[in-house]
Structure 1
Amino acid sequence: MSRTKIEFAVQMTCNSCVEAVKKSLENASEIKSVDVNLDTGSVVVDSSLSTLDLQKRLESTGRKVAVRGYAGSIAAVSIIEAGDKSVQATPDVCIIDGTVDGLKPGPYQISVHEAGDLSRGCESVGDIYHPDKTCSQRLYGNLGTVKAEAGGRAAFRLEDDTLKLSDIIGRSFVIAEKPEENREGRRLACGVIARSAGLFQNPKTICACDGVTLWDEVSKPRL
């Protein structure tokens, strides 16, 4: 499985914090390297684990954690009503790394749709994206299915060698009920796919949208 580098902001105040962070990421064969910077509160992890898995490990130290950026200049994020999802790209594959909450247990379809128009919710995002130029036998934007567990959470990390990130920025990501007999399932949640910050490109400590600190923003409950 392909590895990616993810930068986290971690609330650290001393060297013991640094040691606790490093210990939380030990003994995982999927992690190649960990770089912790106490001065900037930055933790960069090179691994094949999902963002959620890494964040859980870091939060197990009792410290507040926020995702800050992804390696390279080609990464995107889509914030949706039911959770959040990020897309990263390596030279050969597109990695869809996400967590979706608030679902009923069972399978769901995830896909990229034609437009980033949310004026009528998920009804105005168009069909599943399939450009005329593609030779793929599948619908280009059809990413397959994910499963929500008993608690209503679907956590996934998929690798796709067809999707190109440059093709989907500005379009939308949709979660739908599993389709039946060639009919699209009911769309449950959606969000516009926007470019994400790269490593060390997001130094913000105050959220411009509401003026609260990064750590207060992390502590806010999700609606």
Structure 2
Amino acid sequence: MYSNKIEFAVQMTCESCVNAVKKSVENVPGIKNIDVNLETKSVIIETNLPTLEVQKRLEESGRKVALRGYGGSVAGVTILEAFGRNVKGVIRFEQATKNYCIIDGTVDGLSPGEYQAAIHECGDISQGCKSVGEVYSNIGSIKAESSGRATFRLEDDKVKLGDVIGRSFVISEKSENGNQQSIACGVIARSAGLFENPKTICACDGVTIWNEKVGPKSTL
């Protein structure tokens, strides 16, 4: 299994914070290397675990944590939209080697069960998931737990990230008759790799990365 590096911004103010952060991820199976920088408030972790799982571990230190960069210089992201359903998710991509792409995702709002993940030909979501074209590459099955959340990390030897930027990622329901109904989709776009996102304040709304989860309290 290939590992990749994930960069997190972690709200640290002293060496005690650094020690707490290190302790939260030490001796965790699947986490290989940890690099903590107090000056830049940055934590880089080499792992083969899903991003969400690593972030939860870091948050156990009691510090606020935000994802800052994923993988190397060739990274991508999809924000899933459900168009009428309360399904949402984020899928991240990294071209780990010439022959393998890591696909790491979290999807919420699903009914428990198995779903099919695939990349479709087009990045046109003007008509929701109806206008994304035919399947370009089947990624595989993902499973939603009783909470409605599916967390997954897949390695694909057919997908080349440079070839799928601008296409769409689709989650479909599996039916008993073998047909599939698309329930959520999004366009695959380039995203920040390691060290490519130094911001602490969002230029679009002035909200710090620590408060982006709750959004701005007012708009000027």
TM-score, normalisation: structure 1: 0.89
Alpha-carbon shift at residue 187 of structure 1 (Å): 1.1
Alpha-carbon shift at residue 220 of structure 1 (Å): 4.3
Question: Which secondary structure does the structure 2 equivalent of 1:217 belong to?
Answer: coil
Q: Detail structure 1 runs of 4+ shifted over 6 Å in the superposition.
A: none
CA distance in 2, matches of 1:179, 1:127: 18
Q: Which moved more, 1:15-24 or 1:64-73?
A: 64-73
- 1:200 corresponds in structure 2 to 195
The one-letter code of the counterpart of 1:96 is I
Alpha-carbon shift at residue 11 of structure 1 (Å): 1.0
Deviation digits for residues 59-107 of structure 1, max 9, x if unmatched? 1112211111123211111111311111112113111111000000001
- 1:85 corresponds in structure 2 to 91
TM-score, normalisation: structure 2: 0.90
| 1:12-23 equivalence runs, <5 A | 12-23=12-23
* Equivalences, count: 209
CA distance in 1, matches of 2:145, 2:35: 33
| 1:151-190 equivalence runs, <5 A | 151-183=147-179, 185-190=180-185
The one-letter code of the counterpart of 1:68 is R
The root-mean-square deviation of aligned C-alpha atoms, in Å, is 1.5
Q: Contact (CA 8 Å) 1:109, 1:179: kept in 2 or not?
A: no
CA distance in 2, matches of 1:122, 1:170: 14
Structure 2, unmatched stretches of 5+, are: 82-87
Identity of aligned residues (%): 63
Structure 1, unmatched stretches of 5+, are: 130-140
Of Structure 1 and Structure 2, which has the larger fraction of its residues in strand?
Answer: 2
Match of 2:115 among 104, 108, 121: 108
Alpha-carbon shift at residue 31 of structure 1 (Å): 1.6
Alpha-carbon shift at residue 219 of structure 1 (Å): 3.8
Alpha-carbon shift at residue 123 of structure 1 (Å): 1.2
- 1:47 corresponds in structure 2 to 47
Correspondence 1:121 to 2:128? yes
